[in-house]
Structures are given as structure tokens and as C-alpha cells.
Amino acid sequence: MALEYLPTEIITQIFLSLPDIRSAAALSATSHRFHSVFHSPQNLVILSSTAEAEFGPLDEIIQLVTHNASQPAHIRRKVPLSTALIKQVVQVGRVAQRWEETYPFKKWKSDFASRRLLTTDERYRVRRAVYRLWLFSRAFHNASNIRTCRSIPSVVSTRAALLHNFSLRELAEMYDVHQIMREVMRTNICPSNGRMRVKYQSRYPDQPHGLMFNIHLNYPPAPSSFIPESWFHNSPTANLNSRHHQPSRWLDPGAEGWGDDITHYYVVEDMLKLDPEQILHLRDHCPLKAQVEAYVKEVAGEWFINNGETFNETLAHVVRQRGGEMEELGAAVEEGEMGVAGAE
Ligand SMILES: *[C@@H]1O[C@H](CO)[C@@H](O)[C@H](O)[C@H]1NC(C)=O
Ligand SMILES: *[C@@H]1O[C@H](CO)[C@@H](O)[C@H](O)[C@H]1NC(C)=O
Ligand SMILES: *[C@@H]1O[C@H](CO)[C@@H](O)[C@H](O)[C@H]1NC(C)=O
Ligand SMILES: *[C@@H]1O[C@H](CO)[C@@H](O)[C@H](O)[C@H]1NC(C)=O
């Protein structure tokens, strides 16, 4: 029997059982009948069901994309689904999926033996944490949150109100994913001077001298120095290189470190105000420090500098209010008792 002759309800059921939007679109292209069911009034039902399976929890995405300054972030919003909303859902959902992929690499970075793919439930928890962290960032890491107001009690309690909506387990998952983002920021986007030094040494083991930072900007070393002349941006050979190669940290590695311990710590704190999509953008498209700086200048302003992210301290505040200890929660996530991949 041709599938064409199935009743509409059955065809709708087939659509509803598909795992993602791409399959639904593909199926709708197979025949007129499927096409017309897909583009019938059932369309939004089908789309929301497949989007839930692929990117869910949809409700959390909706909280994120419908947030605006007219309402506190912790008030749950109910909005009717529309095609425009589904479009935003897909965009946000795809970002969360990339964090699903990143998670195992950072979580079990040195612990190779434990590294594995995430289960369906764990993926769901990564996405949920990403949407919630993203909302936190959108609502509280903005130009009206300048450095001096971060600890004002009323400001703290507004931030805390959002986190109070979540159970301790869910907060631990957010903390877990936040640590993954911190790792990406700390090591991939804004590597410390020390990290650049170590990487340089493993890449160029024959160079007898260590790497110097920024010094040559003021005092170009003699030609016999360990850094080839071609590494200077203003040298003719460097320009030639950059025309033929992707920009690389190794053209001028001394200029690529983001400072030593304390300076580096505060840089990372500042940078973690960026949202999950911006962090991935920097990781994937801005290999050079100058590019990262230019991007931040473009998306943020004065308020951004010297003004660390506030999720971690708000979480500590909320955990204390519930009679717990942040250190314990941190340790439970570290030891795999809580968090995305933590025991149920
Ligand atoms: C802000 O959000 C509220 C509630 O979701 C909505 O009714 C309102 O239209 C939004 N305002 C703007 C300017 O988008
Ligand atoms: C910026 O932050 C303030 C204070 O947290 C908040 O009330 C406001 O809604 C935020 N602005 C936007 C556009 O989310
Ligand atoms: C979040 O908390 C606010 C009040 O603090 C409440 O109005 C809202 O319903 C809560 N939402 C959830 C999902 O718990
Ligand atoms: C997060 O907050 C806790 C409690 O205040 C603190 O001990 C910890 O060092 C913070 N983590 C980071 C990475 O700043």
C-alpha cells in the first residue's frame, strides 16, 4: 500500500516520531501528500515536537529568546509557538549542540580513560544548562551591570531569583557546564603566558631560549634572536606569510599570551560574561589575541572591562541560602557525583 493513502493523523504521527527537523523536511519532500501534511495547520505541532526531540527543552529556549528588559528574567514566559519562534529555537539549539560535542573533550581532558560520548539524557542536560546560563548572561551581563553595582543586595537578589528556580542538581549541572566554558576560555581563547610558553616549547623543542612576552614590541631583538624575523607583523616576510596562511598564533607567539597567573585569572573572569554563542565564535574564528580583542570591543563596551562574570558568585550565594556549601557542590561536580555526567 502506498503511504500516500494513509490518513492524515497517521502521517502526522510519522512526522512526530522523527528525531530532528532535517528529517521532517526531508520526508516532506518525498511526496505531495507528505508535503501537504507538513505544510498544513499541523506544521507547528510537527515542528515543535521534532525541535523538542532535537534541541529540547524547548521551554528553556523560549525563556531565553523571549527575554527582554520589560520583565525580570525569573518570571516564566508562556508564548504561543510560531514559525519565527521555531527559527530562533533552531539557531539557539544548534549552539547548544556544539557544547554537547565540546563537553566530553574538556570534561575528561586528561582523564582519557573516562572519556566517552554523552548519553541522550546527558546531552539534554548540557543543552538545558546552556540555555539557562545563556539567559543568565543575557539578563545580567549587560551595560547596566557595571562593576560597582555587582554586590548591591537588591542586584544580588535579582540574580539569585533566577537561580532559585532550579533544583540543586540542576544548579550543579549549570556549574559543570560553566566550568567547561571556563576551560575553553582559559586554554583555547585566552591562553596564559605560561601556557603559550609550554606550547611553544613543545612545538619548537630545538629553540634553546624560552619565549618572551611582548618585549620585542618595544625592543626588537637582534636578528640572531630566537624568534625568526618573519614573525614580526611589520616585516615583509610576515606579510607574505599572512597572505598565504591562516592567521596563526605562531607568527608572533610572544604577543599571544594573556598574562601571568593573577592577570590571566581576571581576564578569564571578564571574558566569561560573553554568552555561549559568542564564546564558540571566538574559539572557532578568532585564533589571534588581536582578533579576540577587536571582537570584544565590538560586542561590548567600557562596562565589560575589569568586571568579572557573576554566575559563580550568585550560585555560591544561592547554595548558601539553601544551607549548603559551594565548596561541597564544586567537589561533587569535580568527583562526578553531580553535574551533567554525574550519577543520578
Ligand atoms: C518583552 O516581553 C514581553 C513579555 O514576553 C512582551 O509582551 C513584549 O512585547 C516584549 N517587548 C519587546 C519590546 O519586545
Ligand atoms: C540589564 O540588566 C538589568 C539589571 O540586571 C536588567 O534589569 C535588565 O533587564 C537587563 N537588560 C536587558 C536588556 O536584559
Ligand atoms: C521561578 O521563580 C518565580 C518567583 O521567584 C516564580 O514566579 C516562577 O514561577 C518560578 N518558575 C519556576 C519554573 O519555578
Ligand atoms: C566560585 O565561587 C566559589 C565560592 O565563592 C570560589 O571558592 C571559587 O573559587 C569560584 N570559582 C572561580 C573559578 O572563581
Separation CA 258–CA 273 (nearest Å):
17
User: Whose C-alpha lies nearest to ligand 3, atom 13?
Assistant: 165
**Looking up cell 565548596, which residue turns up?**
327
Can you tell me whether residue 295 is helix, strand or coil?
A: helix
Q: Per mean pLDDT, which range of 1-10, 161-170, 181-190, 257-266 is the poorest?
A: 1-10
Q: How confident is the model at residue 321 (pLDDT cuts 50, 70, 90)?
A: very high
**Looking up cell 544548579, which residue turns up?**
171
Q: Ligand 1 centroid vs 70 CA: distance in angstroms?
A: 6
Give 43 or 298, the one with higher predicted confidence: 298
Q: Ligand 2 centroid vs 142 CA: distance in angstroms?
A: 7
- Nearest bound ligand to CA 85? 1
C-alpha triplet 294, 295, 300: angle, nearest 5°: 105
144 lines ligand 2 (CB under 6 A): yes
User: What pLDDT score does 229 carry?
Assistant: 38
Give the pLDDT mean for 4-22. 84
**Cβ neighbours, 10 Å, residue 286:** 17
Separation CA 290–CA 270 (nearest Å):
16
What would the DSSP string read from start to end of 95-135?
HHHHHHHHHHHHHTSS-GGG--PPPHHHHHHHHHHHHHHHH
Q: Ligand 3 centroid vs 140 CA: distance in angstroms?
A: 17
**pLDDT (tens digit per residue) in 76-133:** 999 888 888 888 999 999 999 999 999 999 999 888 888 899 999 999 999 999 999 9
Residue type, 314: T
**pLDDT (tens digit per residue) in 51-80:** 899 999 999 999 999 999 888 999 999 988
Cβ–Cβ < 8 Å for 159, 325: no
Q: Ligand 1 centroid vs 96 CA: distance in angstroms?
A: 24
**pLDDT (tens digit per residue) in 175-207:** 999 999 999 999 999 999 999 888 888 888 877
188 lines ligand 4 (CB under 6 A): no
Q: Per mean pLDDT, which range of 8-22, 277-291, 323-337 is the poorest?
A: 8-22
**Cβ neighbours, 10 Å, residue 297:** 11
Res. 149: pLDDT tops 50: yes
Q: Of all atoms in ligand 1, which is nearest to the CA of residue 69?
A: 1
Q: Of all atoms in ligand 1, which is nearest to the CA of residue 77?
A: 5
The answer to whether the Cα torsion of 43, 49, 51, 56 is positive or negative is: positive
Percentage of the chain modeled with pLDDT above 70: 88
Q: Ligand 2 centroid vs 265 CA: distance in angstroms?
A: 26
Res. 11: pLDDT tops 80: yes
Q: Ligand 2 centroid vs 152 CA: distance in angstroms?
A: 15
User: What pLDDT score does 1 carry?
Assistant: 57
Q: In degrees to the nearest 10, what's the CA dihedral of 172, 168, 149, 290?
A: 10
Candidate from 70, 82, 135 with most ligand 1 atoms within 8 A of CB, to mutate: 70
Give the pLDDT mean for 133-142. 95
Res. 222: pLDDT tops 60: no
Give the pLDDT mean for 279-288. 95
User: Whose C-alpha lies nearest to ligand 1, atom 13?
Assistant: 68
User: Whose C-alpha lies nearest to ligand 3, atom 2?
Assistant: 165
Cβ–Cβ < 8 Å for 134, 64: yes
Q: In degrees to the nearest 10, what's the CA dihedral of 186, 136, 290, 105?
A: 40
Q: Ligand 2 centroid vs 185 CA: distance in angstroms?
A: 24
Asked, as a colleague might, if the bond just before 276 is cis with ω within 30 of 0, I would say no
User: Whose C-alpha lies nearest to ligand 1, atom 12?
Assistant: 68
Give 147 or 297, the one with higher predicted confidence: 297
Percentage of the chain modeled with pLDDT above 90: 53
Alpha-helical regions (H) of 164-207: 168-183, 193-203
Q: Ligand 4 centroid vs 265 CA: distance in angstroms?
A: 11
Q: Ligand 1 centroid vs 74 CA: distance in angstroms?
A: 14
Candidate from 314, 318, 326, 334 with most ligand 4 atoms within 8 A of CB, to mutate: 326
Q: Of all atoms in ligand 2, which is nearest to the CA of residue 155?
A: 5
71 lines ligand 1 (CB under 6 A): yes
